[in-house]
């Protein structure tokens, strides 16, 4: 088995999370400048055993695609050209940012630490990954 890598794609920053090789535990990995994301992912999958990539699927409350889906589709095309050997799945990511922020509050982070948007993105990616693991 290989790791599953989750992506919470953003136009500026992208949060990443990854499982262990047994695909049991989801952990935050990092936050990457979106302009450098493909380069980071190519390097990461060349050094780690990644079996699958999961990308958040942003939806509106009425189940239609979010406006950010346009950017994600461009990214997915680039990803499939750069890393064609790895399967990509999508999973609904509604409320992950709000849940990430609540997780930060619940864990006792100070207000200044909760303003760290990179940390919110990384936690969101972890929530996406946990949701995916629960669905398989």
Question: Where in the chain are the domains?
Answer: 3-135
How far is Cα 38 from Cα 56, in angstroms, rounded to an integer? Answer: 16
Residue 53 burial by Cβ neighbours in a 10 Å radius (0-12, 13-18, 19+):
buried
- Per-residue model confidence as pLDDT tens digits over 27-85: 999 999 999 999 999 999 999 999 999 999 887 667 777 778 899 999 999 999 999 99
Contact 22, 3 (CB under 8 A): no
Q: Which fold has domain 3-135?
A: Nucleotidyltransferase; domain 5 (3.30.420)
For residues 53 and 80, give the distance between their C-alpha atoms in angstroms, rounded to a whole number: 11
pLDDT tens digit sequence for 2-32: 999 999 999 999 999 999 999 999 999 999 9
């Amino acid at each position: 088995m290989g790791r599953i890598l989750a992506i919470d794609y953003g136009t500026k920053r992208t949060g990443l999370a990854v499982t262990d090789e047994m695909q049991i535990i989801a952990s935050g990995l990092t936050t990457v400048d979106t302009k450098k994301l493909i380069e980071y992912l190519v390097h990461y999958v060349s050094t780690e055993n990644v079996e699958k990539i999961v990308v958040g699927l942003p939806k509106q409350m009425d189940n239609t695609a979010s406006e950010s889906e346009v950017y994600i589709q461009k990214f997915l095309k680039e990803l499939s050209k750069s890393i064609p050997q790895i399967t990509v799945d999508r999973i609904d990511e509604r409320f992950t940012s709000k849940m990430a922020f609540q997780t930060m509050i619940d864990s006792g982070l100070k207000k200044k630490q909760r303003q760290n948007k990179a940390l919110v993105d990384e936690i969101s990616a972890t929530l996406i990954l946990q949701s995916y693991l629960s669905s398989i």
